[in-house]
Amino acid sequence: MAAFPTVQDLAAAETDQVMALWKGLGYYSRARNLHNAARLIVNEKGGVLPQNAKEWTALPGVGPYTAAAISSICFGEPVPVVDGNVQRVMSRLFDIEHAVDRKAGKQSVDEACQLLLDHTDPGSSNQAWMELGALVCAPKAPLCAECPLVDGCLAHARKTVLQRPVKQPKKPALAVEVIFSIALRNGPGAALQWWVERRPDTGIWSQLEAFPCEMIPQSSEKQAAEKVGLFAEQTDPEERFGPVKHILTHRRMTAYFETVRAPSEKETPGRWVDVDSGDANWPRLIDKVLPELRSWIVKN
């Protein structure tokens, strides 16, 4: 926000600058969507921000929750904001038996929100429901005795509070092994350099910079063996740096770094960067082990 105080500033920024400022925050598609939305607003809307939920959802990366929050709180549009907290409050208040992440449950929650929204002050109403869920109707230890709605709460009356909301079982995170290949050379002034490539515009770590890599889904047998330590001692510190554990929303990564003689032959944009002093727009996985990785490179 300091770098881009206005939508015009963000729209005029270079993509690499936006991604660099977002580094380490994850969900990099959000930065790309913010940037693309700013450009659309400036180039096609004359720099005028939308003022209703329908127009907000037409922008890249803006879904129903964000659109409703902005339009109700900033512009007074009477649309409900449904976040996880509100979802939990409504599912308990009306003892909704359907899974709230499926069509029937979502529809029941939306209808409850519409019924209880204060149309005279929708912004405050929405914030009140969110705060009630965040501060009182907590997931595991709800403060029912302090809740102003306890007398009308069906889940409290039926003793199903801790069973609400109902959700579909989450899919387990995919276990992935990542092998980074580090090409080295002596650059100007004999400075040791490594080759970094710009990641594709879509997919994991999109538009950031990293060493060329290969991602290999781990078999269930290898995952089980890794849990009991069978692979813990197989990494030769002179041949390979790692393992480095990193967890994303849908992936559990085990990364290793190897040195190679030359950069990959793929037609991928890249550049040589000084190992000691040069910087790159690294993903968090690499950024968090850079000092150790640099020491390993120099030592070996």
174-299 matches 80-109+116-170 in CATH topology: no
Task: Break the chain into its structural domains and give their ranges.
Answer: 80-109+116-170, 174-299
- At 286 the pLDDT is 94
Q: For residue range 202-258, what is the model confidence (pLDDT) as tens digits?
A: 888 888 899 999 999 986 545 544 443 333 334 455 689 999 999 988 899 999 999
pLDDT band for 105, please (50, 70, 90 cuts). Answer: very high
CATH superfamily, domain 174-299, is Nucleoside Triphosphate Pyrophosphohydrolase (3.90.79.10)
CATH entry, 80-109+116-170, from 3.20.20.210, 1.10.3720.10, 1.10.1670.10, 1.20.120.1200: 1.10.1670.10
Among candidate residues 255, 159, 250, the one with its CA nearest the CA of residue 211: 255
What 57-64 contacts at long range (C-beta under 8 Å, 24+ apart), as own/partner pairs, is: 59/33, 60/33, 60/36, 61/29, 61/30, 61/32, 61/33, 61/34, 61/36, 61/37, 62/33, 62/37
Q: For residue range 51-67, what is the model confidence (pLDDT) as tens digits?
A: 999 999 999 999 999 99
Whole-prediction pTM value? 0.69
Query: Is residue 284 within 8 Å of residue 207, measured between CB atoms?
Result: no
Q: For residue range 113-146, what is the model confidence (pLDDT) as tens digits?
A: 999 999 999 999 999 999 999 999 999 999 999 9
